[in-house]
Structure 1
Amino acid sequence: MIDWLDEFRPPEFPDTSRALEEPEGLLAAGGHLSPAWLDCAYRKGIFPWNDPDEARLWWTPMPRAVILPETFRVPKRIAREVRNTDLRVTANLDFKGVMKGCMAPRADSEGTWIDDEIIDNYPRLHDAGRAISIECWDESGALCGGFYGLSIGRILFGESMFTQHSGASKVAFASAAPLLFELGFEMIDCQMRTSHLERFGIIELDRPEFESRLLAGVNKPAPPSLPGVLI
């Protein structure tokens, strides 16, 4: 049994130790997606994820897939793609466009978990400097890939990525991640291991280590902003 969160009360979540084992990491339902609720959730390693026609669900799965500065790597083949690409990579020029790209139906599914409420609220965090987007543009100037995430202190919470051009999301991540770590980010939370990001040095942390790193990182001053043009 999980708790139902009252959206009309100040944001408050159950202790993460109460997350279910099946389905793995499910913690609560209900609540709201206002910036205050999202800030409270992510600071505890909790994030929303559900189909658009379901009740809002909140998750904190373990082990947690993350990339740390000391584990991060760019495979030689991808580094070569970045050097030779005709794509242009920017930061924070079209946050909502990236979100809508991530929201669009994909070849292997009917759609994603991103719904209109998410599209309405996450840009408010971006406007406040609490979320970032990385954009890939093709030779004609069309947005063709990228990713977005929330940033609190020195932790980046990766949310979703998309590509409409072969290799665009790889180029976007391989261009941005080194700069993020150079600027002072201490962890990229990938939530769950994927083959796409595994090549960049994902490791899995148990709950005590993840939450210890999380608590330390979110309470530090935010690093400087990324430059507008990356490549």
Structure 2
Amino acid sequence: MILLSDKLWFPPVETASSEGVLAFGGDLSPERLLLAYNSGIFPWFNKGEPVVWYSPGERMVLFPNELKISKSMKQILKKDSFKVTFNQNFKEVIRSCKTIYREGQGGTWITDEMEQAYTKLNELGHAKSVEVWLGNELVGGLYGIDLGDVFCGESMFSAVSNASKVAFIHLVQKLKRENYKLIDCQVYNDHLASLGAREIPRNEFLRYL
């Protein structure tokens, strides 16, 4: 497995392991992160570990016109109980994604280093957030990297039921209006599949980038 140095470079994604691991090390500078995302690569590691870079063979994505909204979610959206904003409180969203309790997980993969790195990307205009409010309280949201016509989702949170789904649905609808090609969801999970996301081969994903 490749150990990265200070050089701004990644090995070919085809050399990733069967688990999708491509390389270790390097840093989380804005330049390296943007190179990674534009190359179909993302970091994912735990506190105390070196940075691990992934490029899985199958990529979970959502094409905006394939969004599925259940009948119950349509009713929730129709009630209009939540207010949704875009990129108005990135720092609070990433902090909430980092600290919120997740059943079955021992901790968070959003380390202090990652929080600082993505906040810097937000300040540079490359990372964006969606906020969901109940009254004046932030109760849900998500954040990710905006590549211009592809949005790479990173994490979401809900402090009340369905708040993260509301954030995701509003994001997809907004990106559809703006003719984005797809939303990168990275790896499979049932929650995203229920919303219409599906896996495509890495080489197909790279063509969209």
TM-score bucket (shorter structure): over 0.9
Residue in 1 that maps onto 2:68 = 73
Deviation at 1:107, TM superposition (A): 3.2
Note the residue ranges of structure 2 that are not aligned, 5 or more in a row. Answer: none
1:1-231 alignment, distance < 5 Å: 2-6=1-5, 8-9=6-7, 11-21=8-18, 24-104=19-99, 105-139=101-135, 141-214=136-209
C-alpha deviations, 1:25-44, integer Å up to 9, x for none?
00000011010000000011
8 Å contact kept, 1:64–1:210: yes
**Where does structure 1 differ by over 6 angstroms across 4 or more consecutive aligned residues?**
none
Shift of 1:202: 1.0
Aligned residues: 208
Q: Which residue of 2 aligns with 1:219?
A: none
How far residue 75 of structure 1 moved from its aligned partner, in angstroms, is: 2.4
State the Cα distance separating 1:76 from its structure 2 match: 2.6
**Residue identity matched to 2:29:** S
Any gaps of 5 or more consecutive residues in structure 1?
215-231
* Conservation of the 8 A alpha-carbon contact between 2:65 and 2:176: no
The residue identity in structure 2 corresponding to 1:114 is: I
What TM-score comes out, normalization by structure 1 length? 0.86
Residues 146-166 of structure 1: per-residue CA shift (max 9 Å, x gap): 100101120100000011111
Task: Please say if residues 92 and 132 of structure 1, whose CA atoms lie closer than 8 Å, have aligned partners that are also in contact.
Answer: yes
Post-superposition offset of 1:5: 0.5
Sequence identity of aligned pairs in percent?
38
Give, in whole Å, the separation in 2 of the partners of 1:186 and 1:152. 11
